[in-house]
Amino acid sequence: MSNGARIRRKGLAATAGLAILGLTAACSSGDATSDSSADAGSGSGEDVVLEFAQWWEPELPDGMLRGLMDQFEEENPGITVELLSGPYASTKEQVVAGAASGTMSDVVGLDGAWVSDFVNQGAIADLSALMTDAGYDESQLAAQVQLNGATYEIPVVNFAYMLFTNDAILADAGVDVPSTRSEFVDAAEAVTTDDVSGWILPLSLEAPNGVQNDVMSWVWASGGSMLADGQPDLTNEAVTSATEYIKELNDAGVIAPGAATLKEQDKVEEFTNGRVAMMISSLAHINTIRESNADLEFTISAVPAEDGYSGERGTPYASWGIGVAENSEHKAEAWKLIDFLMSESANAELADAANAFPGNSTAVPEFVNNDEIFQEAFDVWQAGYPANEFVGLPVAEQLMREYGEQLQRVLAGEIEVSEALENAQAAWMDEF
C-alpha cells in the first residue's frame, strides 16, 4: 500500500471516528434529556424543575429575585426554580421563539401586548382553570388580562405613567403644574426657550410604545377610549381631540426636536438633563433620574385632562405580567409559583424593589410610606383607574407603529388629523 493510500485510509478512519463520536454524543445527550425529563416529571414525590423566563432580574437589585425564588423553594420542597433572565428585547424573542416551537419555559414573564398573539397560537395556558383547580381567591388580584372570558396573564407589578415636571424650570417661568390641557399648553409655551422644550414626544418606529405612553395617555386621562366594543375606534371624538391637541403642541413649537426617532430612554435623558420641562413617563424612571441628576427637583402628577373634565382619570401603566406555558408539564407547580409571587408579602417585596405598584390589591410597598414623591404618585394611582387599552390587543406593537406613522405624517404637515385617523383606523381593522 502506498503512503497516499495509507494516509487516505487513516483520514477516513479519523473522519468516521469523529462521526461515530458525534453520534454517540448526540445519543448520549438525547438520553440525558430523556432522563432529565423523567426526573422532572411531576409524578409522585419526584423533584420538579420550573423554568422561569423573564426580563425582571436584570432590572431588580442583584440577588433580589433569586432570593424570592429561594424562599419559594423552601416553602415548596421538591420544586426548584431555574431563572432564565435577559433584557426585555431578548426575552421577548426567546418567548416568541418558544411559543412557535412549543419549548416555552414553564413560567414566563409577559407583556400585555403579547398576550393576544400567544393566546391565538395556543402557547399560553388558561390561568382561570388553574386558579379554579387550586381553589385560588381571585379577589386579591388588582387586575387580570382576560381574553374570551379566561385569564391568561396576571400583572405582578405595575409601572404607572404620570406627568413629570421640572420644578425649577416651571418656577422660573412662573407657572404651576398643569392639570388641564389648556394649562399644559400655556405652561409648555411659557417654559420653551432656545435651550429648553416644553414637552417631549418619543415617536420612534423601532420601539413605538410612545404611542401608548405619550399619546393615548391623553385620551385615557380624559376618560376616553380608542376602542368600541373591543374593535378599533380611532375616529371617535376622544382620539381626534387628543391627536389634534398634539398637533397644536407641535404647531406651537413646544415639542422637543427629533420626535420621529426619539425613544423612551432619550425622553428620560432629556428630562434628566433639564432640556425638557415636562414629560409623561414611568415611575420606574424616578430612581434613574435621581441617580443621573441628584440635584433635579421634580413633581409627579396626573396626566392633564380635557378642560372641564371632572370624571375619573385613566392612568396609563405597563406591567410585569406572568403566565404559564401551555406546553408545560408542570402547570400545577407553575401556578404555585404565581400564587407565591402574588401573595401579599412577596408581591409587596417585589414591588418595593422594582419601585412599582403591586399586583396584589392588599399589598402596600414600603417606598410609598418612605418617599414623598412615591406617596404623591400612589395617591394619583389610587384616585384614578389603570388604563392601557393595548393590553390584550392583537399585534399591539404593530398597531402602535401604524398609528405612530400616521401621527408622524400629521406632524410633518403631509396630511390632516382626520385623514391620518381614517388611515390608522383602516390599518388597525386589517390587523384585527
Instruction: Give the footprint of another protein on this chain (CB under 8 A).
Output: 1-2, 4-5, 8-9, 11-12, 15-16, 18-19, 93, 96, 100, 117, 120-122, 203-208, 256-262, 275, 395, 397-398, 401, 405, 408-409, 412, 414, 431
Which residue shows C-alpha cell 416553602? 75
Nearest approach, Cβ of residue 117 and another protein (Å): 6
Shortest Cβ 273–another protein spacing (Å)? 9
In 272-388, the DSSP E strands lie at: 276-282, 298-301, 314-324, 357-358, 385-387
Query: By C-beta, is 259 or 305 nearer to another protein?
Result: 259
Closest contact distance (angstroms) between CB of 234 and another protein is 18
Output 100 or 134, the one with its CB closest to another protein.
Answer: 100
Of the pair 120, 370, the CB lying nearest another protein is at 120
User: Exposed, middle or buried, 258 (CB in 10 Å: 0-12/13-18/19+)?
Assistant: middle
Residue type, 87: P
Q: Which is nearer to another protein, 94 or 222 (CB)?
A: 94
What's the DSSP call for residue 57?
A: G
Cell of 182: 389648556
Which string of DSSP letters, residue by residue, matches 105-150? -SEEEE-HHHHHHHHHHT-B--HHHHHHHHT--GGGBS--EEETTE
Helices (H) and strands (E) in the chain, counts: 18, 13
Annotate 71-110 with DSSP letters as a single string.
Answer: HHHHHSTTEEEEEEE--HHHHHHHHHHHHHHT---SEEEE
- Toward another protein, which CB reaches closer, 69 or 276? 276
Closer Cβ to another protein, 23 or 383, answer by number? 23
Minimum CB separation of residue 276 from another protein in Å reads: 11
**Shortest separation between residue 93's beta carbon and another protein, angstroms:** 8
Smallest distance from another protein to CB 150, Å: 18
Residue 123 CB, shortest distance to another protein, in Å, is: 9
Contact 301, 71 (CB under 8 A): no
- Show Cβ contacts of residue 96 under 8 Å, excluding neighbours closer than 6 positions: 114
* Closer by beta carbon to another protein, 307 or else 431: 431
